[in-house]
């Protein structure tokens, strides 16, 4: 009898201990982030922390995988079910299986998770180079960014549309700055957060350009309206902002020009159940202040309303987001509702 009772209590203890284990019955999210030195990685970690703290039954692990453009292939190969630091045109390409993702094929399981910030892509060039716009780039060496990065993908897209004859090099921002300072290149293409978000952001040197400009004067290479239209004709989902005359705060003498600017987002797989997605977006949206404290460029954004404004790109929202938005009384564009959504 005693032996039976001992076995019973031992079994009961194991059941209770297993049930009390933090990892028990938790849905695992593998969140593909960027390199640890990137501010984008900081955003991914902050989102993961919000999910781990406030989304009951969900465990999110943010892993550094490299440039932002490498996170979507991980999702396509089933190595991650969430990814961050993505310019939305890149998500569009992955969803349709075109351009950079032609070999991988379309990933129709991609879903928008939440908007992160508005990103613009300046090409910082030396004043002495005489480069004014993209048609001045023939034969010039320009650093296009890290291999596989969103910045590099957008740089190559510009060249595909305009055929300027630019000579691209590649490397990190630190490498790009050194190359400019040592006169190995005439400039570098990079991404930077736009503040305030949207088409009315104020253009000024980012931290990297300020550092280089202290010893070698820099300016920006913009698009003419004709060049912008050529790019739009080939890549309809690319969006631009017009910088008015005097709108570049560090070079107020410049006349108007155009820059690429579009939202950066995170993505999630449709394989993640709707109830899990719901818990995740609720955790992130209702603790957005903490995300913004960790990554200030996200502060001006409304994580729900501004994500709902991404209708023009054609990549669906995740079902949990749709459920959360509808509960808040918000109208969700029909185009953004995924087929797996259940009311």
Q: Check if the beta carbon of residue 24 is closer than 8 Å to that of residue 242.
A: no
Q: pLDDT tens digits for 169-209?
A: 999 888 999 999 999 999 999 877 665 554 455 678 888 89
Lowest average pLDDT, out of 30-34, 85-89, 185-189, 280-284, goes to 85-89
Residues 6+ apart with CB under 8 A from 80: 30, 31, 32, 63, 65, 71, 74
Residues 268-273 have a mean pLDDT of 98
Q: Would you place residue 42 in the very low, low, confident or very high pLDDT band (cuts 50, 70, 90)? A: confident
3-state class (DSSP) for residue 177: helix
3-state class (DSSP) for residue 115: strand
Q: pLDDT tens digits for 247-267?
A: 888 888 989 999 988 888 999
**What count of Cα atoms within 13 Å lies in the side-chain half-sphere of residue 252?**
1
- Is the predicted pLDDT of residue 31 greater than 80, yes or no? yes
Q: Would you place residue 21 in the very low, low, confident or very high pLDDT band (cuts 50, 70, 90)? A: very low
Residues 311-340 have a mean pLDDT of 95
Residues 81-85 have a mean pLDDT of 87
């Amino acid at each position: 009898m005693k032996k039976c009772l001992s076995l019973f209590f031992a079994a009961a203890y194991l059941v209770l201990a297993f049930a009390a284990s933090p990892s028990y019955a938790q849905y695992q999210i593998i969140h593909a982030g960027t390199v640890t030195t990137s501010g984008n990685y900081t955003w991914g970690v902050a989102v993961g922390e919000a999910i781990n703290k406030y989304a009951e039954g969900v465990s999110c692990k943010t892993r550094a995988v490299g440039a932002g453009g490498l996170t979507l292939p991980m999702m396509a190969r089933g190595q991650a079910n969430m990814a961050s630091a993505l310019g939305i045109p890149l998500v569009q390409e992955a969803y349709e299986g075109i351009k950079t993702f032609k070999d991988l094929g379309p990933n129709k399981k991609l879903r928008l998770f939440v908007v992160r910030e508005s990103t613009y892509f300046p090409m910082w060039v030396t004043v002495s180079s005489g480069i004014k716009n993209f048609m001045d780039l023939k034969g010039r060496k320009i650093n296009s960014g890290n291999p596989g990065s969103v910045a590099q993908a957008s740089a190559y897209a510009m060249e595909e549309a305009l055929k300027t004859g630019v000579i691209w090099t590649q490397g990190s921002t630190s490498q790009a700055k050194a190359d400019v300072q040592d006169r190995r290149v005439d400039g570098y293409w990079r991404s930077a957060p736009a503040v305030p978000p949207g088409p009315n952001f104020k253009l000024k040197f980012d931290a990297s350009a300020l550092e280089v400009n202290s010893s070698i004067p820099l300016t920006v290479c913009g698009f003419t309206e004709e060049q912008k239209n050529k790019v739009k004709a080939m890549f309809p989902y690319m969006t631009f902002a017009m910088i008015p005359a005097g709108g570049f705060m560090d070079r107020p003498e410049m006349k108007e020009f155009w820059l690429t600017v579009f939202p950066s987002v995170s993505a999630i797989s449709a394989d993640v159940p709707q109830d899990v997605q719901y818990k995740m977006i609720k955790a992130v949206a209702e603790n957005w202040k903490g995300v913004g404290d960790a990554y200030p460029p996200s502060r001006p954004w409304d994580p729900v309303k501004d994500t709902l404004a991404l209708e023009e790109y054609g990549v669906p929202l995740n079902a949990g987001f749709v459920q959360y938005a509808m509960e808040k009384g918000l109208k969700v564009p029909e185009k953004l509702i995924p087929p797996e959504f259940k009311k």
